[in-house]
Amino acid sequence: MTKKNQDLKILGIETSCDETAVAIVNIKENYKGKILSNKIFSQNKEHSPYGGVVPEIASRSHVEHLDDLIDQALKDSELSFDNFDGIAVTSGPGLIGGLIVGMATAKGLSLATNVPLIGVNHLEGHALTPLLTNDTSFPYILLLVSGGHCQLIIVEALGKYSKIGTTLDDAVGEAFDKAAKFMGLGYPGGPELEKLALRGNPYAFDLPRPLVGQDNCDFSFSGLKTAFIRLVRSIEPVDEKTSADLAASYQQAIIDCLINRLSKSIKIVKELRPDLKIKNLVASGGVAANKRLVEQMQEFSKEKNMEFISPPIEFCTDNAAMIAWAGGLRLSAGMRDPLGINAKARWPLEEVNIN
């Protein structure tokens, strides 16, 4: 889809949740990309006292940090606006206040410099990341696991996405965060719970594996979370060893659910789309930073004779390189957006399919 001899420089802006991020990516033909700058300001400290993202604090923090990060990225890459071919900005899904901060900045820059604007779906950014960071190619099955999402998607080509499974209630990152909050661990809870689980026995406690064995690729975590909270309450006060066992058992229950659903998705994709002959499995989104999940997915992929790919941690969690990359690929396929585009709090990935 990308043109020959192309050499695009794209500025990317990401403000959909609690990371303010700016990146510059150089895109050459045949899906070759190079990250020239990747700047990120994590607001974890600001949200930590509340045990979750506070939208108003997030928007204010984006306002305070975005301009400075853009300056830093320009300095880093030794580029100026004359050098850019596109300005890509996350337009959704996400927290509306944060999205508006990023989009207003991107629109202002585009208007002032005449550089085309491309509104990017955040999920498409996660979906296309492995093409930028790992030597992989279409098609693949993507397990998108983040604080806001838990989905299984067939990624066939740019703008060709089919969701085959989704969560019926909580996102998987949310399941980590809520359990961690209940245990009094820090925020974000996923990495804290993982740290504690390292010292525990993953099979010490018997927790449910919702939907495991069912003939679909959906997920459900709210029953598991409730069972976990009941379990903790039933054994309080919890000593240190028990606390590690609880964290490890909870994490293992989540991983078992994810891998069972992934396994089902391979079967379903083979039935639905035998023509695709998918050989690659990709995990992306913040929860894909979980080492035990990655190890167990690696083992699982080996058993299935498939290749497992997971972007480096800093590109699994929210970043702007993925936004610049997805926007640049769209630009090279002839797409751009008018300055009138709006931020979308909800924006299913399949709505950006190219027919």
> Toward ligand KG4, which CB reaches closer, 119 or 188?
188
Query: Which residues in 192-231 contact Zn ion (CB under 5 A)?
Result: none
> Toward ligand KG4, which CB reaches closer, 66 or 331?
66
For residue 203, give the amino acid letter.
Answer: Y
Chosen residue from 12, 98, 165, 188 binding ligand KG4 by CB under 6 A: 188
Closest CB 286 distance from ligand KG4, rounded Å = 2
318 binds Zn ion (CB under 5 A): yes
For residue 64, give the amino acid letter.
Answer: E
> Toward ligand KG4, which CB reaches closer, 77 or 251?
251
102 binds ligand KG4 (CB under 6 A): no
Closest CB 83 distance from ligand KG4, rounded Å = 29
| Binding partner of residue 51 among Zn ion, ligand KG4, none, CB cut-off 5 to 8 Å per kind | none
Residue whose structure tokens are 């990023």: 102
Q: What order of strands is seen across the sheet that includes strand 7-14? A: 32-42, 19-28, 7-14, 86-92, 117-121
124 binds Zn ion (CB under 5 A): no
Distance separating alpha carbons of residues 99 and 91, to the nearest angstrom: 6
20 binds Zn ion (CB under 5 A): no
93 binds ligand KG4 (CB under 6 A): no
Chosen residue from 146, 243, 260, 301 binding Zn ion by CB under 5 A: 146
Instruction: Give the list of residues 6+ apart from residue 75 with CB closer than 8 angstroms, or none.
Output: none
Question: Could you give the string, one character per residue 314-333, with x where binding to ligand KG4 holds by CB under 6 A and - elsewhere?
Answer: ---xx---------------
| Binding partner of residue 188 among ligand KG4, Zn ion, none, CB cut-off 5 to 8 Å per kind | ligand KG4
14 binds ligand KG4 (CB under 6 A): no
Query: Which residues in 147-166 contact ligand KG4 (CB under 6 A)?
Result: 147-148
Q: What order of strands is seen across the sheet that includes strand 150-157? A: 160-166, 150-157, 140-145, 280-284, 307-309
Closest CB 18 distance from Zn ion, rounded Å = 10
Report in angstroms the alpha-carbon separations of 45 from 13, 49, 61, 302: 21, 8, 11, 39
Compute how many residues bind Zn ion; rule: CB under 5 A: 2
Binding footprint of Zn ion on the chain (CB under 5 A):
146, 318
Binding footprint of ligand KG4 on the chain (CB under 6 A):
17, 146-148, 173, 176-177, 188-191, 194, 285-287, 289-290, 317-318
